[in-house]
Amino acid sequence: MEYSKKYYKIGCDYMEHGGDIYTDGILKGKKLLDFSSNINPLGVPKSFIDNIYEAVKLSDVYPDAEYRELKTNIRDYLNADSIEEKNIIVGNGAAEIIDLSIGCFKSICIVVPSFIEYEKNSVKWGLDIKYSFLNENMDFDYKDIIKKLEDSEALIIGNPNNPNGRIIDKKNFKNILDYCERYNKTIIIDEAFVEFTGKTENSFIDELKNYKCLFIVRAITKFFGMPGVRFGYGISKNKLILENIGSRQNPWNINCFAEMAAKYIFKDEEYIKNSLRWISIEREIMLNQLNKIDIIDKTYKTYANFVLCHLKNITCDVLYKKCLDSGLVIRQCDNYRGLSKEYIRLAIKDRDKNNRAIKILQGLKINS
Query: In the predicted model, what is the mean pLDDT of residues 227-252?
Result: 96
- Is 171 within a domain? yes
Q: What is the pLDDT of residue 137?
A: 95
* Helix 351-363 × helix 269-290 angle, to 10°: 20
Q: What is the pLDDT of residues 46-69, one digit of tens each?
A: 999 999 999 999 999 999 999 999
Residue 81 banded pLDDT, cuts 50, 70, 90: confident
308 - beta bridge partners?
A: 345
- Is 15 within a domain? no
Say if residue 312 is in the same domain as residue 230.
no
* Helix 116-124 × helix 94-102 angle, to 10°: 40
Residue 357 banded pLDDT, cuts 50, 70, 90: very high
Distance from C-alpha of 190 to C-alpha of 203, rounded to nearest angstrom: 10
Of 230, 247, 265, the domain-final residue: 265
Rounded to the nearest angstrom, the gap between the alpha carbon of residue 319 and the centroid of all alpha carbons in its chain is 24
Say if residue 287 is in the same domain as residue 342.
yes
Q: What are phi and psi of 188, to 5 degrees?
A: -95, 115
Say if residue 162 is in the same domain as residue 219.
yes
Say if residue 315 is in the same domain as residue 255.
no
Look over the chain and give the mean of its residue pLDDT values, rounded to a whole number: 92
The total number of structural domains that make up the chain? 2
Residue 366 banded pLDDT, cuts 50, 70, 90: confident
Longest dimension (CA), the chain: 61
Say if residue 241 is in the same domain as residue 334.
no
Q: In 10 A of CB 23, how many CB atoms?
A: 9
- What CATH number does residue 85 fall under? 3.40.640.10
Residue 23 banded pLDDT, cuts 50, 70, 90: low
Q: What is the pLDDT of residue 365?
A: 81
Query: In the predicted model, what is the mean pLDDT of residues 2-31?
Result: 47
Q: What is the pLDDT of residue 38?
A: 95
State yes or no: pLDDT of 15 exceeds 80. Answer: no
Least confident residue range of 11-20, 90-99, 218-227, 260-269? 11-20
State yes or no: pLDDT of 4 exceeds 70. Answer: no
Of 265, 296, 320, the domain-final residue: 265
Say if residue 113 is in the same domain as residue 52.
yes
Residue 18 banded pLDDT, cuts 50, 70, 90: low
Rounded to the nearest angstrom, the gap between the alpha carbon of residue 63 and the centroid of all alpha carbons in its chain is 27
State yes or no: pLDDT of 202 exceeds 90. Answer: yes
Residue 341 structural domain: 21-44+269-363
